[in-house]
Chain A
């Protein structure tokens, strides 16, 4: 079965239960299925509000490579802000930011406290801080590590879902930790969408598997299909 096409995904996501039968979707909730299926044939109206406001990305072991590849495949006109938590050492410096910048045409910044969230910018959680998103911008925290991690993916995902609700797009990639599963579940619970990397294509399948096991995945996709789906979802318009 071909797994990397959004067309498949749509056909595999009818309204209602049993939608997981294609192996691509992970039992979407009803509004989720409707949202994933509504894009076909709709015209983009630049004046209409977007269905999504933010992309939050989490990764751990193998994440440097996976994020680099995801960023390099995103178009330069990508309209949403992206916030990234990659588990990293407490002493790590600006090298990571430079590396991601070399793969992206979007500006890549290390988030500072109260930095505003700007469209088409990539924000990286700094080493040794949790990164959170609030209504007026980013907030940092030195609270205890969550799931042994600081920055923790759960913290970013949870804050994004609380701030943006159903306008949150989560992406969970490769990793050797269970961080992210709870936060991803929270995003889904509040009506957002979570794209989880197909564990078979992950350098380390533990993290995507944990999220899938926790029923926190809306869609499961191979790494090379994720940026295409993000691009398409980012152009969806808010209905209602």
Chain B
């Protein structure tokens, strides 16, 4: 019998193996549950009927690969998503970062940049920004270009403003962008200390030593094997007593690095490397 779940799994496997061999992008250890949804949405967008058909198109048509990569690297985010995290970052992480003369922060999997601007704003308000260098990485060049451009739909600014205030923002959020028709253009000065770089968490190694790494809601798209790899990478990329920030429903205690960190704030996934 042709069990549909098994057939689908086989097709997904062949697609990912093909992309890896042909192009070097490794999605083989992405979480199948969410990956499957994204693959099907690409199948539909490409007006195809099966994952096998997508495999053929992606292998023969690099422009189709570009669209596939984009579909897999856009993480829907928001400025100051989970405001409580940023509030905790101000209260617990900023005082620790102040003790360094020069601060390197890695925002891994920055996608379209919402978190980059949020962090730049926070550090500026805390008077730390001049001392910081923010490395914002993503595997996809197209989303990095979008992050650099810093243009977001105007209609989102109301909820971003609410988040900003809840996150402990003390000014008017509208100081940080210019309205241009239906869009908000983030102030370019916010990127003064930001370096955007292409980096793939599934295949690339560390590229510096950091005082803090934020990787929030990126690893939820990975399976446990790949999550372990990334935790290993982060652990080796942090200075002693360096800080690690994860998404609010991601758990360090399900990884082998559980005992290498202490939690800085009770309710928030903000950790400090201790061993």
**Chain A residues close to B by CB (< 8 Å):** 110-115, 126, 129-130, 132-136, 139-144, 155, 158-159, 162-163, 165, 190
Please, which residue of chain A has its CB at the minimum distance from the CB of B8?
A162
Quick check: B249 and A129 within 8 Å, CB to CB? yes
B 192-220 binary contact with A (CB < 8 Å = 1; else 0): 00000000000000000000000001011
What residues on B are CB-neighbors of A132 within 8 Å?
Answer: 31, 33-34, 37
What residues on B are CB-neighbors of A165 within 8 Å?
Answer: 3-5
B64 adjacent to chain A (CB < 8 Å) = no
Query: Chain B CB within 10 Å — which of A112, A114, A163 has the most?
Result: A114
Q: A133-B33, A142-B77 are in contact. Are A113 and B5 (CB under 8 A)?
A: no
Q: Chain A interface: which of B47-55, B221-229, B256-264?
A: B221-229
A156 to B250, CA, bound (A): 18
A149 to B178, CA, bound (A): 30
B 248-275 binary contact with A (CB < 8 Å = 1; else 0): 1111001000000000000000000000
Partner pick for B221 among A115, A133, A141, A190, CB 8 A cutoff? A141
Quick check: A159 and B227 within 8 Å, CB to CB? no
Quick check: B250 and A113 within 8 Å, CB to CB? yes
Quick check: B5 and A190 within 8 Å, CB to CB? yes
Quick check: A142 and B32 within 8 Å, CB to CB? no
Quick check: A115 and B33 within 8 Å, CB to CB? no
Quick check: A112 and B251 within 8 Å, CB to CB? yes
Quick check: B254 and A140 within 8 Å, CB to CB? no
Query: Chain B CB within 10 Å — which of A113, A132, A162 has the most?
Result: A113
In the complex, how many angstroms separate the beta carbon of B160 from the nearest chain A beta carbon? Answer: 13
What residues on A are CB-neighbors of B37 within 8 Å?
Answer: 132, 141, 143, 155, 158-159
Partner pick for A142 among B217, B223, B224, B227, CB 8 A cutoff? B217
Query: Chain B CB within 10 Å — which of A111, A142, A165 has the most?
Result: A142
What residues on B are CB-neighbors of A129 within 8 Å?
Answer: 220, 249
Quick check: B220 and A140 within 8 Å, CB to CB? yes
B 17-33 binary contact with A (CB < 8 Å = 1; else 0): 00000000000000111
Partner pick for A113 among B8, B32, B36, B219, CB 8 A cutoff? B219
Please, which residue of chain A has its CB at the minimum distance from the CB of B166?
A91
What residues on B are CB-neighbors of A135 within 8 Å?
Answer: 32
A110 to B267, CA, bound (A): 14
In the complex, how many angstroms separate the beta carbon of A113 from the nearest chain B beta carbon? Answer: 5
Quick check: B224 and A144 within 8 Å, CB to CB? no
Cβ contacts A to B, 20 pairs, < 8 Å: A110-B249, A111-B249, A112-B250, A113-B249, A113-B250, A114-B31, A114-B224, A115-B251, A135-B32, A139-B31, A139-B34, A141-B34, A141-B220, A141-B221, A143-B34, A143-B75, A162-B5, A165-B5, A190-B4, A190-B5
Partner pick for B33 among A111, A126, A134, CB 8 A cutoff? A134
